Amino acid sequence: MKRSIYSVIAGLVLAASALFLVYNSRTAIQPVEAAPMVVPTTTVLVTTEAIAFGQPIKADFVKEVSWPEDAVPEGIIQDRAMLNNGDQGVRIAIRSFVAGEPLLKSKVSGFGEKPTLSRKVSDELRAFSIRINDVSGVAGFLLPGDAVDIQLTRQIGRNKKNLVTDVIIQNVSVLGIDQLASEETENPVVARTATVEVTPEQAQKLALAQQLGSLSLMLRNYTDVADAEVKRVTVGDLTNDGPKKAAKNDGIYVRVRKGTDVKSTRVPK
């Protein structure tokens, strides 16, 4: 009897030992969760809504957000004090903003400054105005911010039939239409001038081209930035008027001579 009791007790001890070992082994192999990575942040200002070119930047147009320190854009405004108007006048947007965009110094004017067109011209580029009308200006559908190709139609020599058209510049930005420079406008207008952003050399070409003939603009798709392969178009290209190819001289010809008279007759094969 006692031996049976001892056997039961020994079995219980062995079972408890086995459970203890299993529990410890499972605990030992459980993966240790890594501590969450702490990313250093700083406070920056972003826009709460879209801001158009020339629009005053009001206090409720911006908000403070946390931004990773190693991803802060260069020239960002981080302090509301830098927008405090005080007695110095209002700061305006010299480039358009979208909602949630970081407020960059390069896109904001100084205190009390005006939204002049010169602030929209990129470094090393120039603004040049072209005379246009309802046809050459794409029927009034051009708006600031569009991209265009510019072509020149002119007469070569004194013959009015010797008209040619060349694409002289491709993919330039429209800065303004007449005196409208805001890219936020939604209503196209029929204008008399279009101001484009070009290099100094391109501006020289346009000045000369306006003296030689008429300039017209071609509106591009906003995603199409590659230069297209173009060639000069002449009046002959409009009607396929060109040198006629001689008919192929196929067949058998028989010459019949009568005295000094020679006649050639084609004989079908």
What's the pLDDT tens digit per position in 171-195? 999 888 876 655 555 556 667 888 8
DSSP assignment of the chain equals -HHHHHHHHHHHHHHHHHHHHHHHHHHHHSPPPPPPPPPPEEEEEEESS-B-TT-B--GGGEEEEEEEGGGPPTTB---GGGG--TTS---BBSS-B-TT-B-BGGGB--TT----GGGGSPTT-EEEEEE--TTTTGGGT--TT-EEEEEEEEE-SS-TT-EEEEEEEEEEEEEEETTB--TT-------SEEEEEE-HHHHHHHHHHHHHSEEEEEEPPTT--SPPP---EEHHHHHT--PPPPPP--SEEEEEEETTEEEEEEE--
Q: State how far the Cα of 167 lies from the Cα of 212, in Å rounded to an integer.
A: 14
Tens-digit pLDDT profile for residues 199-244: 999 999 999 999 999 999 999 887 888 888 889 888 888 876 555 5
What pLDDT sits at residue 168? Answer: 93
What pLDDT sits at residue 246? Answer: 47
Q: How many CA atoms lie within 13 A of 22 on its CB side?
A: 6
Least confident stretch, 26-40, 42-56, 151-165: 26-40
Q: What percent of the chain stands above pLDDT 90?
A: 14
- 232-238, long-range: CB < 8 A, 24+ apart: 232/164, 232/165, 232/166, 233/164, 233/165, 233/166, 234/162, 234/163, 234/164, 235/161, 235/162, 235/163
For residue 172, give the nearest of 198, 191, 195 by alpha carbon: 198
Specify whether the CB–CB gap between 168 and 151 falls below 8 A. Answer: yes
Evaluate if residue 247 carries a pLDDT over 90.
no
Q: Residues 251, 254, 255, 258: is their CA dihedral positive or negative?
A: negative
Least confident stretch, 33-47, 161-175, 208-222: 33-47
Specify whether the CB–CB gap between 76 and 44 falls below 8 A. Answer: yes
- Among 11-20, 24-33, 87-96, 258-267, top mean pLDDT goes to 87-96
- Look at 16 and 231; give whichever has higher pLDDT: 231
What pLDDT sits at residue 169? Answer: 93
What pLDDT sits at residue 211? Answer: 92
Residues 6+ apart with CB under 8 A from 152: 165, 166, 168, 209, 212, 213, 214, 215
Residues 6+ apart with CB under 8 A from 125: 197, 198, 199
Mean of the per-residue pLDDT values for the chain? Answer: 77
What pLDDT sits at residue 215? Answer: 92
Tell me if the domain spanning 41-115 has CATH number 3.40.1190.20: no
Confidence of residue 103 (pLDDT cuts 50, 70, 90): confident
- List, by residue range, all CATH 3.90.1210.10 domains of the chain: 41-115
Q: Is-above-0.75 flag for pTM?
A: no
